[in-house]
Amino acid sequence: MGRVTCDDFRKFIDAYLDDEFDARDRADFDAHVALCGCCRRRVEDHLSFRRCIRSHMQQKRDMPADARARIQARMRTVSRPDRAARWLSRVAAPLPAVAAVGAVALFYIPMTGFAPVVDDAVGQHCERVPIEVPTPEAREVDEWFRDKLPFELAAPRFDDEQVMLLGGRLSKVGGGDSGMRSRRAAYLLYGVGPHKLTVLVFDGKDLEIEDDSAIREVNGRRLSIHHDHHGYNVAVYRKGALTYAYTSDLPETDLLRLVANAH
């Protein structure tokens, strides 16, 4: 950088003190500050301020012991290396029986490690975005989505008279490494008495499956249930190539019963 002026020093004092310079530039700045009382005072002022805020910020950084224990316990349950193998053996057991039937109409795989999808399902459940096809007729909804999605949608039907389809809209859902919403999805809205039920339907066959949730078997179907930190439950299952994420503030048992009986 050559000879350093006071103007240079003012402009680059942050980078100088943040140790962003190479050795040569740093030496030039060191030489300047050694000779210039005004800039030396600037350095002292900056350093006093930084020491002050740094010391206070450091005091506040440690995690409470109980929070640490909870997270460590959670991580132990997730990352035990042999757990995946045990899980796979549970899933694999019914496979021969299913294959023997010959006509596999529905094959449910418990979805685990689904955090980005769960995030999106709850996030979209909480959003107040208008629906684009407001109708209680599932066939009309299916028809509206035709050619708008890279898959054929059949909106879930329920025999429970309390459940009423209210409509749907196009959406996107995250998943994968980036966690960004990039895959096209159908967002379906239902009323269940005073409760709201939303369903995201998308092609999620490429998503990595890992252990992050509880597995429930209801009505012969294996589902995974995710408890959002804000009180919502998300039940996920896969039907063929499609993934369905049901989100509601309904109690877990009620939500699972609905999902397990959807057709």
Partner 1 sequence: MLGGLFRKRDDHLEFEEIAMPHMDALYGAALRMTRDPSRAEDLVQETLLRSYRFWHKFEKGTNIKAWLFRIQTNIFINKYRKRQTEQAVIDDREIDDLLGRYAAEENTFIPPDTRDDFFKKVLSDDVMRALDDLPFEFRMTVLLADMHDFSYKEIADVLDCPVGTVMSRLHRARKLLQARLFDYAVERGVIDAPEGVTSENVADLDAFRRRRKVANGGEE
The answer to whether 214 contacts partner 1 (rule: CB under 8 A) is no
Could you give the CA distance from residue 246 to residue 197 in angstroms, rounded to a whole number?
Answer: 7
> How many alpha carbons lie under 13 Å from residue 255 in its C-beta half-sphere?
25
The answer to whether 77 contacts partner 1 (rule: CB under 8 A) is no
The answer to whether 75 contacts partner 1 (rule: CB under 8 A) is yes
Q: Which is nearer to partner 1, 159 or 206 (CB)?
A: 206
Report DSSP letters for 210-261, one per residue.
-S-SEEEEETTEEEEEEE-TTS-EEEEEEETTEEEEEEESS-HHHHHHHHHH
Q: Which is nearer to partner 1, 134 or 176 (CB)?
A: 176
Footprint (CB under 8 A) of partner 1, residues 98-157: 113, 115-116, 119, 123, 126
Instruction: Quote the Cα angle for 261-127-70, to 5°.
Output: 75
Q: Which of 23, 35, 37, 58 is the binder for partner 1 (CB under 8 A)?
A: 58
Tokens of 176: 């994968």
Q: How far is the CB of 252 from partner 1 (least distance, A)?
A: 19
- For the chain, give the longest Cα–Cα distance: 89
Could you give the CA distance from residue 116 to residue 88 in angstroms, rounded to a whole number?
Answer: 22
Q: Which of 71, 95, 106, 214 is the binder for partner 1 (CB under 8 A)?
A: 71
Q: Which is nearer to partner 1, 50 or 157 (CB)?
A: 50
Instruction: Quote the Cα angle for 75-79-82, to 5°.
Output: 145
Q: How far is the CB of 147 from partner 1 (least distance, A)?
A: 28
Footprint (CB under 8 A) of partner 1, residues 166-185: 174, 177-180
Tokens of 96: 């021969």
Q: Which is nearer to partner 1, 179 or 193 (CB)?
A: 179
Helix (H/G/I), strand (E/B), else coil: 53? helix
Helix (H/G/I), strand (E/B), else coil: 2? coil
Number of residues that bind partner 1 (CB under 8 A): 58
Q: Which residues bind partner 1 (CB under 8 A)?
A: 10, 14-15, 18-20, 45, 48-54, 56-64, 67-68, 70-72, 74-75, 78-81, 84-85, 87-88, 113, 115-116, 119, 123, 126, 174, 177-180, 205-206, 208-212, 229-230
